């Protein structure tokens, strides 16, 4: 007669009740972004783009010409106004040589005409300066959408420049998590295969309104300072980050896998020294994704059974 093998009953894991430090965290995702970025635009409208000298990805120096507009007759208008201004000034000098009342009135009118001409000249020179788009600082052209032949719209963004050598951790958190965090809180940043880096929360988002052009600026992100970035860190490198909202030191804890619930009741299954097991009600405190604080019901060193 063959032997009858009794199947083994699987033993559930037992965990010690121990003291540890619990950290409540909120997590988000983001990327490395330039600390310094600026939109590129022409201040004058209704002019044709004559030349474009850069494209996305180009490295430029401060003051470098990026694009220029067709100036039309702006330069000739300036020359005419300069001639008119000089003629008025000569006429006024002639009037001043004759000191009668009539010439005094004429001289005052000429002064007003000269003042108006100077204003018109200033406007024209400003418009001429606005036909040249130059780099506001040394950096990299992140985007540039304008093309030769396009007509400009004053103050409409046509590109973006960034200093990619000056980077900062930029993270987006959920709106509910943003209410829990504040500048100065400890943070941990994971940058791909480079590892984890401790940092400090520097600034919360300045706005939550998404831009119409789809390009997100630093204003939309929570910024985290790191003492040092890993070698090879580059603009746009993806990352994850967590912020420590609360830290509870030297508290009794058990794994979350050992906590049992029934309606509003919280309890555990305690494994006694004699092998017997019994249910014990517990009062719990803060919870993480893996552990839970025990305020009342258990003592350090006891063992609890996993579910």
pLDDT 10s digits, 255-273: 999 999 999 999 999 999 8
Q: Where are the domains of the chain?
A: 14-22+249-305, 23-36+166-246, 38-69+133-161, 74-129
Confidence of residue 104 (pLDDT cuts 50, 70, 90): low
According to the model, what pLDDT value does residue 231 have?
Answer: 86
Is 0.85 surpassed by the pTM of this model?
Answer: no
Tokens representing 99 are: 């000191």
Answer yes or no: are the C-beta atoms of 169 and 199 closer than 8 Å. yes
Please provide the CATH number assigned to the domain covering 38-69+133-161.
Answer: 2.40.50.100
According to the model, what pLDDT value does residue 213 have?
Answer: 62
Distance separating alpha carbons of residues 296 and 15, to the nearest angstrom: 17
pLDDT 10s digits, 198-223: 999 999 999 888 776 666 789 999 99
What value does the mean pLDDT take over residues 93-119? 65
- What b/e string do you get for 61-94 counting C-beta neighbours within 10 Å, with b at 16 or more? eeeeebbbbebeebeebbeebeeebeebeeebee
Q: Do domains 14-22+249-305 and 38-69+133-161 have the same CATH topology?
A: no
Number of H helices, E strands in the chain: 3, 20
The fold of the 14-22+249-305 domain, in CATH, is 2.40.420
According to the model, what pLDDT value does residue 94 have?
Answer: 62
pLDDT 10s digits, 170-181: 999 999 999 999
Answer yes or no: are the C-beta atoms of 253 and 18 closer than 8 Å. yes
Q: Is residue 113's pLDDT more than 90?
A: no
Confidence of residue 129 (pLDDT cuts 50, 70, 90): confident
pLDDT 10s digits, 151-166: 999 999 999 999 999 9
Whole-Å CA distances, 171 to 28, 75, 153, 239, 305: 6, 48, 33, 8, 39
The fold of the 23-36+166-246 domain, in CATH, is Elongation Factor Tu (Ef-tu); domain 3 (2.40.30)
Distance separating alpha carbons of residues 281 and 179, to the nearest angstrom: 33
- What b/e string do you get for 228-263 counting C-beta neighbours within 10 Å, with b at 16 or more? ebeeebebebebebbbebeeeeebbbbbebbbbeee
């Amino acid at each position: 007669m063959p032997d009858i093998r009794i199947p083994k009953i699987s033993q559930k894991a037992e965990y010690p009740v121990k003291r540890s430090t619990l950290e409540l965290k909120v997590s988000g995702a983001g990327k490395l972004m330039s600390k310094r970025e600026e939109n590129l635009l022409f201040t004058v409208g209704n002019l044709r783009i004559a030349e474009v000298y850069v494209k996305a990805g180009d490295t430029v120096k401060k003051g470098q010409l990026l694009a220029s507009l067709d100036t039309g007759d702006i330069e000739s208008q300036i020359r005419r106004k300069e001639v008119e201004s000089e003629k008025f000034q000569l006429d006024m000098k002639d009037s001043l040589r004759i000191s009668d009342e009539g010439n005094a009135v004429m001289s005052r009118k000429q002064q007003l005409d000269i003042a108006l001409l100077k204003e018109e000249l200033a406007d024209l020179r400003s418009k001429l300066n606005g036909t040249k788009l130059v780099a506001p600082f040394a950096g990299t052209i992140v985007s540039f959408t304008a093309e030769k032949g396009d007509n400009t719209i004053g103050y409409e963004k046509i590109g973006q420049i960034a200093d990619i050598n000056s980077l900062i951790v930029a993270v987006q958190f959920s709106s509910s998590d943003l209410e829990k965090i504040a500048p100065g809180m400890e943070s941990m940043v994971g940058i791909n295969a480079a590892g984890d880096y401790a940092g400090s929360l520097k600034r919360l988002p300045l706005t939550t309104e998404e831009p119409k052009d789809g390009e997100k600026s630093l204003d939309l992100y929570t910024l985290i300072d790191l003492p040092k970035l890993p070698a090879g860190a580059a603009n746009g490198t993806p990352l994850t980050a967590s912020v420590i909202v609360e830290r509870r030191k030297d508290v009794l804890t058990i794994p979350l896998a050992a906590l049992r619930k029934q309606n509003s009741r919280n309890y555990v299954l305690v494994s006694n020294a004699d092998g017997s097991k019994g249910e014990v009600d517990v009062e719990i405190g803060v919870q993480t994704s893996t552990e839970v604080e025990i305020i009342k019901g258990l003592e350090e060193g006891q063992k609890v059974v996993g579910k």
